Structure 1
């Protein structure tokens, strides 16, 4: 692991999308990021830098300005970090993730890396999610007493992130319920349905792995204190943690339902195969005595041909009639056995 990202000159232009706002008791105002770096934060507020998919050069100036630790900067530059909270001199570093379904049904996640200081907040985003205007609108709705603190924006960002989980989980639960209903329908229970079960199971397991660590992150933040979480904000951060916990519990239930769907599919498939085997056994049972009778009268012995079935009436009575009687008797016997079988309905199906 390198000790520091590549430093760029102070005048280096950014290649990523950087949005900068001054937030405080007077509201939010967009400014140029170079201006925000060269000017002090407002007396009753803080500065917010939002950087999307940055390069090392994009964060170099922010690292110099706010004395960001090189290890935290390196983590922010490379996506696929685990959700965590790390304390550094002058700031806290937080990693959290959001999730949503892509058009093709796969899991899409976006990563949010946050540097939270007393007079600044830097958000480094990987992937799409959390529109800026929505975040600003949410921030305007928090109590005015929070506005001067950067923890107010941290609350808004995490709250918006966790709010994404509910519709995502609702969709998973609805799809799982639909799959379980279709499983009992022979017209739908096939290999295609098995692939759907596998896909939804993989999706649920992946989402659980992404969201589960956020509980510990929020618990750590609740213990951090100012400037990360002000005392008056503790109940609200606790509410976010409860929502995240609820989502984790729902995903764990969905994971169990997805695994159970596999068991249901295989149980029903085994039952249908057993019913088919029983039907084939019934047919074989009926034809077995018929084969015996036909084989007996089909023997080419002189005594049998010349004396027993020497006439046409004898042929119809002994051969055809006896074989028909055996067939009827076998059918009645098999049906009576099926009537005593508790899986008769499955056999007839």
Structure 2
């Protein structure tokens, strides 16, 4: 297919850096589109590489979403939360019932599976919508056939929005394989800013808590949050990397040789993200263990010093207690120097104990 349909080859150098989101699809504030049928769940539909008139006139309806016999693929984008879109996918789309149920499943994990000429692809990406949880990765569900692409959304996706903008300009990929390349590359690169942010936060915490030997509970809480985020991200990124590897090594018919090469780049990017998450998880665990060890050492030192003080005070308290009993025969009872002598004896005993402890290396 034309090289222009593969933005990865133009914008993503084969280096080991974590690329920016703009390397794959433009990083922009994309206004939402008015759905073709908001109540029914049809967000939009267009023939690739896109036709501006499709979006201006909303000329495609539910009756125009069948499987085309030939030509460039028809891209159908649905809102899976709407009952009518679910019904259409199950009963009228012509999609295998297993595929339909997989696309509509509430709980999904990244996967790739071939069904005849089509490919079911479920991937995960950062949820950049307002109010989203920090560690939330939301599912992108795709069904790709040679002449039809069906995508479903539960939340708005920057990747899909950017591709829709390209389609409105007539500049979207012209094949299902090119579409998959753009989606996979964008999802992989969009993880990079999040991972870099986590790494910077972890570096700052390590510097403050390890180099400066501070132990602020707020930093301990943030460290635990980073570790949880890394574990949560990795839970989806690792199977996503494996799914992309399956596409690369067991390529379906919709992928050309060029598509496979471009998907390999996205797979390697996902691999680097997974490795970075593993490293952060391990670093956070080591930092937590070091913090715990330092805290335990400080507590142990404090308890030890209190024990030494109590040991020194014990005989002194015993002596003063004996001198304070109300019986006859108390030494120095009638001496005007009695109090001073007792204080001197107590001081000498305390000094003797300290010298003994020093000699025994207890202090």
> What is the TM-score when the length of structure 2 is the normalising length?
0.76
Partner of 1:71: 98
Stretch moving more, 47-56 or 213-222: 47-56
**Pair 1:321 & 2:348 matched:** no
RMSD across aligned positions (CA): 3.5
Deviation at 1:238, TM superposition (A): 0.4
Change (3 A) 1:40 1:81: closer
Partner of 1:80: 107
Partner of 1:99: 126
More strand by share: 1
Asked if 2 retains the 8 angstrom alpha-carbon contact of 1:36 and 1:47, the reply is no
**Pair 1:117 & 2:145 matched:** yes
| Alignment equivalent of 1:178, drawn from 192, 204, 229 | 204
| Alignment equivalent of 1:220, drawn from 246, 257, 265 | 246
Partner of 2:15: none
| Alignment equivalent of 2:336, drawn from 308, 312, 319 | 312
Question: Mapping of 1:95-174 within 5 angstroms?
Answer: 95-100=122-127, 106-136=134-164, 147-174=173-200
Partner of 1:5: none
Moved segments of 4+, more than 6 Å: 25-28, 138-141
Change (3 A) 1:324 1:223: closer
**Pair 1:24 & 2:49 matched:** yes
| Alignment equivalent of 1:55, drawn from 59, 62, 82 | 82
Deviation at 1:23, TM superposition (A): 1.3
SS at match of 2:126: strand
Deviation at 1:118, TM superposition (A): 0.6
Change (3 A) 1:322 1:89: same
Partner of 1:284: 310
Structure-2 separation of matches of 1:150 and 1:104: 30
Structure-2 separation of matches of 1:303 and 1:65: 110
Stretch moving more, 260-269 or 147-156: 260-269
Stretch moving more, 19-28 or 316-325: 19-28
Q: Deviations over 1:86-106 (max 9, x none)?
A: 211231111111134775863
Deviation at 1:337, TM superposition (A): 5.8
Change (3 A) 1:182 1:53: farther
Structure-2 separation of matches of 1:33 and 1:71: 26
SS at match of 2:233: helix
Q: Which has the higher contact order (CA 8 A, sep 6+)?
A: 2
**Pair 1:206 & 2:232 matched:** yes
Structure-2 separation of matches of 1:295 and 1:179: 52
Asked if 1 retains the 8 angstrom alpha-carbon contact of 2:111 and 2:123, the reply is yes
| Alignment equivalent of 1:245, drawn from 271, 280, 300 | 271
How many residue pairs get aligned? The number is 323
> What is the TM-score when the length of structure 1 is the normalising length?
0.78
Structure-2 separation of matches of 1:133 and 1:295: 84
Partner of 2:223: 197
Asked if 1 retains the 8 angstrom alpha-carbon contact of 2:79 and 2:85, the reply is no
Asked if 2 retains the 8 angstrom alpha-carbon contact of 1:110 and 1:128, the reply is no
Deviation at 1:64, TM superposition (A): 5.6
SS at match of 1:74: helix
